[in-house]
Structure 1
Amino acid sequence: MTRLVVTGTDTGIGKTVFSAALAGALGACYWKPVQSGLEEETDSALAARLGGLVPQDVLPEAYRLRTPASPHLAAALDGIAIDPARLTPPADDPARPLVIEGAGGLMVPLTDDLLTIDVFARWSLPVVLCARSGLGTLNHTLLSLEALAARAVPVLGVALIGTPHAENARMIARLGAVRVLGTLPPVEPLTPGALAAAFAAGFRRADFLDGPKEKS
């Protein structure tokens, strides 16, 4: 079964929109283990709407926290202790891919002693790192890749989000020794059909099914 983790170099990077497009393209189930903030549309609801997913494609979150904040703080405000044992990827349907979207960036704390990246290291599933395509992305992306490598987390590749920038893509691939899987440009209006078309134009579906490549 293909199981992929989608994370980002920062909060608000666009990884939920990317996750929706990826789940739709793969015919995958979607799982957001920890949701912080419930007053507006949740990430699970957004992924379902933009990815064209039916209700049974969206697996229930392990934790639904009211405050839109770092999970460790949101959980404390709710009087909840996040148990790492509950953050185990489900395997309800081994015949279908699963897209797992992390909370915020790699170093976001889930508890006082547990970072999001620590959970990814325990899972040892291939990670797709979402990064901005434009100014500032080289520093953030290369630091994120170093953090993943330090914990031996397998990286499938980097997905750039924003206006295409060939030089940034080239340098990330070269200095990060990683595949740049493609670029998801701004989509206006952001509808399921337009998002699916943009994803199909910017990425190869097969690249998400064949696993990480060995570094040369």
Structure 2
Amino acid sequence: MTVLVVTGTGTEVGKTVTTAVLACAALAAGRSVAVLKPAQTGVTGDERGDADEVVRLAGGVTAVELARFPDPLAPATAAHRAGLAPVGARETADAAAKLAAEHDLVLVEGAGGLLVRFDGAGSTLADAARMLGAPVLLVAAAGLGTLNTTALTAEALRAREVDLLGVVVGSWPREPDLAARCNLADLPVVAKAPLLGAVPEGAGAYDPAVFRAAAAGWLAPALHGTWDVARFTGEQAPV
């Protein structure tokens, strides 16, 4: 796996922090890492974007942002409102392939969910993943409602013949409720893909040194981590 595409079941599910966790674990395993953000929305000028946040948390990664648009909207809409050229799936795939020639791992972080439109032609992150032949890692919410959005995203990937590597819970609550606890067992069933990690709620606010030291413990061995899915789900199982 040279390129891994990171998407979410929606916005604010922990994609950027999860991308930083993935970068940390890969770096600790001795791999060179690049992070590609095709379209950053909701930031202007010198404001920090998602790729910058990954660098802050993970450290020594190459960060590339292809375009940024000021409105916090879907990339196609934000580009149109700004009067700027959008970044499509082909540009995304080409940039990722170029980075992959120079790095062991390229993490491509999308905006919002899988089928958010990049441009007027309707290209999406799923299209870029298919062009690259790259697997997708799905970052999901922990609580009520996540099973539906996870199942829909997994179904959309299968329909496009894109491999779903697995699911990571992007923000595991400090005090998980019944739905979150039950979802640990149900997420891999509805996704038809393994559960590969759980990132603690608020991890993005950790001191970077603490974050880097702990990151591998939040991911399964398939992602260069040490997280034990059977132990975690067993400990969190509802009584």
Contact between 1:9 and 1:141, CA under 8 Å: does it hold in 2?
A: yes
Preserved CA contact (<8 Å) 2:8 2:138 = yes
Contact 2:76 2:117 in 1 (8 A): yes
Asked if 1:191 corresponds to 2:207, the answer is: yes
Determine if contact 2:38/2:87 at 8 Å carries over to the other structure.
no
* Partner residue in 2 for 1:213: none
Once structures 1 and 2 are overlaid, which stretch shifts more, 39-48 or 137-146? 39-48
Aligned match of 2:168: 159
Deviates more, 1:188-197 or 1:63-72: 188-197
- 8 Å contact kept, 1:71–1:110: yes
Partner of 2:183: 168
Pair 1:46-2:53 in alignment: yes
Mapped to 1, the partners of 2:181 and 2:194 lie a distance apart of: 13
Q: Secondary structure at the match of 2:21?
A: helix
Identity %: 36
Q: How far apart, CA to CA, are the structure 2 residues paired with 1:45 and 1:175? A: 33
Give, in angstroms, the shift of residue 194 of structure 1.
Answer: 3.2
Per the alignment, residue 32 of structure 1 pairs with 37
**Do 1:2 and 1:98's aligned partners in 2 also have CA atoms closer than 8 Å?**
yes
Specify which of 44, 60, 83 is matched with residue 79 of structure 1.
83
Could you tell me whether the CA contact under 8 Å between 1:187 and 1:195 is conserved in 2? no
* Alpha-carbon offset, residue 80 of structure 1: 2.1
* TM-score, L = length of structure 1: 0.85
SS at match of 2:129: helix
- 1:197: how far off? 4.1
Aligned residues of 1:156 and 1:208 also touching (Cα < 8 A): no
Structure 2: distance between partners of 1:137 and 1:197: 29
Is 1:128 matched with 2:101?
no
Task: Tell me which amino acid in the other structure corresponds to 1:8.
Answer: G
Letter in 1 for 2:63: V
Answer with 67-76 or 194-203: which moved more.
194-203
TM-aligned CA deviation for residue 202 of structure 1? 2.1
Q: CA deviation at 1:83?
A: 5.0
RMSD across aligned positions (CA) = 2.1
Q: Is the 8 A contact 2:40 2:69 kept in 1?
A: yes
How far apart in 2 are the matches of 1:21 and 1:82?
28
Structure 1 residues 44-67: Cα deviation after superposition (integer angstroms, max 9, x where no partner): 11111011235xx212x2222222
Q: Report what 1:111 is aligned to.
A: 119
1:184 Cα offset (Å): 0.8
Give runs of ≥4 in structure 1 deviating > 6 Å: none
- 1:3-53, CA deviations, whole angstroms, 9 ceiling, x for partnerless residues? 111110001111001101111221221111111122442111111101123
* Alignment coverage as a number of residue pairs: 205
Q: Is the 8 A contact 2:134 2:162 kept in 1?
A: yes
Say if 1:108 and 1:95 are closer, same or farther in 2 by CA, change over 3 A. Answer: closer
| TM-score after normalising by structure 2 | 0.78
Provide the secondary structure at the position in 1 that maps to 2:118.
strand
Q: How does 1:130-149 map to 2 (within 5 A)?
A: 130-149=139-158
Partners of 1:193 and 1:179 lie apart in 2 by 29
Amino acid at match of 1:44: A
* CA drift at 1:71: 0.6
More helix by share: 2
Instruction: Tell whether the 8 Å contact from 2:133 to 2:162 is kept in structure 1 after alignment.
Output: yes
Pairwise CA distance, 1:122:
2.3
